[in-house]
Amino acid sequence: MKPAPFVHHAPRSVEEAIAVLGEVGHDGKILAGGQSLIPILNMRLASPGHLVDINRVDGLSDITVEDGWVRVGALVRHRALERSDEAHAAQPVLRQALVNVAHPAIRNRGTTVGSIVHADTAGEMPAILALTNGVVEMVGQAGRRETSWEDFFLGALESSCGPQELAVAVRFGRFVEGTGTAFLESARRSGDYALAGVGVAVTVTDGTVSGARASFVSLTDVPSVLDLDPHLTGVEPGSGEWALALDAVAEAVRAHVEPESDLHASAEYRRMLAGELTRRALTQATRTAHSTQGQPARTAHSTEGRGERDD
């Protein structure tokens, strides 16, 4: 199918993009990588009269590692962020999750910010924004504002980014020294949207866990974080107590998530996956947490996910 007719706008600056969005009002839609929007237009699930194509806008393609953040501009493609060694060193869970996003062709074009604004809870990066306590920066008619991930995600495919606002960047938080991360998911085929996915961050101090959290893909209505401290704080990874604590974590995760049944998997199967993936991810994450002990202060969480896809 082909999209309904639309007027194509190609602003060169953020100011110009905001001006066009103001003129066209609710009949306008921002076009970034087009990997979600174009299929929607082609299937005529939406028929905006104006597309505001931001691909020529200056100043939106930077990845910047700052003190507490990895800042990612609106035109940074998934693949560029995945390949950024600087971003990986500062926040390893980004690459760990990104290698699971679709296929390379889609990651070459799709933007990480677009994926977050699209707010699909089957997407990996909304969950990673939540896991890292991230922030979204937006510009609109009233100027610049930023909002925490908790206030940004309102529902499935619904965010607080208004129709006349442009998300100019997202900032992923970095973790404290001694933190390991992991991201694991299960999909029917490599590159498919996940049946279930889990990102975790675990901080180990003096041999025992001092903080742990998890976030979820395809398992909740909006991105959410589960605090695992009650189950893991003070526990030594790999000990007998650790195995029991992981049982309790898996049970807490199964109680926390709210998966739905569809033609790909039942809710019960997804719930089982959620508990098991969290258990495995935590064990992976603690390995990196141990190895970051004693390194210069930087990220707090890190781990090599299910193995980076070499594609």
Ligand X SMILES: Cc1cc2nc3c(=O)[nH]c(=O)nc-3n(C[C@H](O)[C@H](O)[C@H](O)COP(=O)(O)OP(=O)(O)OC[C@H]3O[C@@H](n4cnc5c(N)ncnc54)[C@H](O)[C@@H]3O)c2cc1C
Q: Does 139 bind ligand X (CB under 6 A)?
A: no
Which residues, numbered 46-75, are part of the site for ligand X (CB under 6 A)?
A: 74
Nearest Cα to 98, choosing from 299, 267, 294, 304?
304
Q: Least CB distance from residue 76 to ligand X, whole Å?
A: 10
If DSSP codes are grouped into helix, strand and coil, which group holds residue 254? Answer: helix
Q: Which residue is associated with the tokens 């390893």?
A: 92
- Total of chain residues touching ligand X, rule CB under 6 A: 28
Angle between helices 240-256 and 267-292 (to 10 degrees): 140
Which residues, numbered 97-116, are part of the site for ligand X (CB under 6 A)?
A: 101-102, 106, 110-111, 113-115
Question: Would the CA dihedral through 218, 228, 287, 130 be positive or negative?
Answer: positive
Among 70, 72, 121, 124, binds ligand X (CB under 6 A): 124
Q: Does 166 bind ligand X (CB under 6 A)?
A: yes
Q: How far is CA 114 from CA 33, 50, 227, in A?
A: 7, 18, 27
Nearer CB in complex with ligand X: 99/202? 99
Q: Least CB distance from residue 298 to ligand X, whole Å?
A: 26
Q: Least CB distance from residue 175 to ligand X, whole Å?
A: 22
Among 14, 17, 21, 37, binds ligand X (CB under 6 A): 37
Q: Does 199 bind ligand X (CB under 6 A)?
A: no
Amino acid letter at 193?
A: Y
Q: Does 137 bind ligand X (CB under 6 A)?
A: no
Q: How far is CA 221 from CA 46, 117, 158, 216, in A?
A: 22, 15, 10, 10
Based on its alpha-carbon atoms, the radius of gyration of the chain, rounded to whole angstroms, reads: 20
Which residues, numbered 237-266, are part of the site for ligand X (CB under 6 A)?
A: none
Q: Does 169 bind ligand X (CB under 6 A)?
A: no
Q: How far is CA 287 from CA 57, 185, 247, 279, 293, in A?
A: 42, 19, 19, 13, 11
Interface contacts to ligand X, rule CB under 6 A = 29-37, 39, 74, 101-102, 106, 110-111, 113-115, 117-118, 123-125, 161, 166-167, 193
